[in-house]
Amino acid sequence: MALERARQRNACGQAQAGERPGQGFGAQRKSKRAPRPGLPAAPTPAAPGVRQRLQGLPSGQRRAALVAFLGERTLQVLGLDADTALDPRAALKDTGLDSLMAVELRNALAKAFAQPLPATLLFDYPTLDALAAHLLRVLGLEERAAAPAAPAPATAIDDMADLSDEEAEALLLKELDGGTPETS
């Protein structure tokens, strides 16, 4: 009977004489989940200078490079093989990303870019494309818009508001017939 009670105490994690609490038979220890072959146990922080590497790229290549980086991080968080293809336009939740994984990915990205990011980041920007566009804005790396074109010179169409109904009709007939307008 005493042996049975001792086994029950051990099974519940209570210390035996001479043991410290947490060392007994029933003690639960936190263990790291074994990584899949070829993948790290957890997302590793980005190499220093991810932002600098993006800045060093021509503006036309930044988005593609960032989408590739985000895809790699997403695959790590999902525990998928590195050669798994992710559609940048597909919702990440459709690939299996749940809310805890979204927070894990957001934390990894915040660390990689040394930039605080909102907890709702992956819900607000649910695809790799949308996320990349947002991060380029946040990081100040978005493509610069081309300079606005010079205004086009005024054409005959712009002057139509000044025409009378008869003049407008004559001009329209001329365009439709390809001939000269008839005046009455």
Predicted local distance difference test score (pLDDT) of residue 44 = 47
Predicted local distance difference test score (pLDDT) of residue 96 = 92
Does any domain span residue 169? no
Q: Which residue has better confidence, 27 or 117?
A: 117
Does any domain span residue 156? no
pLDDT in tens, 38-61: 544 444 444 457 888 998 999 889
Does any domain span residue 151? no
What angle, rounded to 10 degrees, do the helices at 99-113 and 59-78 form? 140
* Same domain flag for 62 and 127: yes
Does any domain span residue 181? no
Supply the range of the domain harboring residue 124. 50-138
How many domains is the chain partitioned into structurally?
A: 2
* Same domain flag for 1 and 76: no
Q: Which residue has better confidence, 130 or 175?
A: 130
* Same domain flag for 56 and 127: yes
Question: Distance between CA 84 and CA 86 in Å, rounded?
Answer: 7
Does any domain span residue 145? no
- Provide the whole-model pTM: 0.54
Does any domain span residue 167? no
Which residue among 119, 138, 157 closes a domain?
Answer: 138
Does any domain span residue 158? no
Predicted local distance difference test score (pLDDT) of residue 79 = 94
* Same domain flag for 26 and 58: no
pLDDT in tens, 162-175: 778 888 788 778 87
* Same domain flag for 4 and 68: no
- Which residue in 180, 159, 177, 178 sits closest to 168, CA to CA? 159
Q: Which residue has better confidence, 29 or 7?
A: 7
* Same domain flag for 55 and 131: yes
pLDDT in tens, 11-29: 444 444 544 444 444 433 3
Question: Distance between CA 139 and CA 26 in Å, rounded?
Answer: 49
* Same domain flag for 27 and 54: no
Predicted local distance difference test score (pLDDT) of residue 94 = 93
Can you tell me the mean pLDDT for 74-91? Answer: 94
* Same domain flag for 1 and 78: no
What is the average pLDDT value for the chain, to the nearest integer?
74
* Same domain flag for 54 and 133: yes
Secondary structure (H, E, C), the chain: CHHHHHHHHHHCCCCCCCCCCCCCCCCCCCCCCCCCCCCCCCCCCCCCCHHHHHHHCCHHHHHHHHHHHHHHHHHHHHCCCCCCCCCCCCEHHHHCCCHHHHHHHHHHHHHHHCCCCCCCHHHHCCEHHHHHHHHHHHCCCCCCCCCCCCCCCCCCCHHHHHCCHHHHHHHHHHHHHCCCCCCC
Q: Please, are residues 144 and 59 in contact by the beta-carbon 8 Å criterion?
A: yes
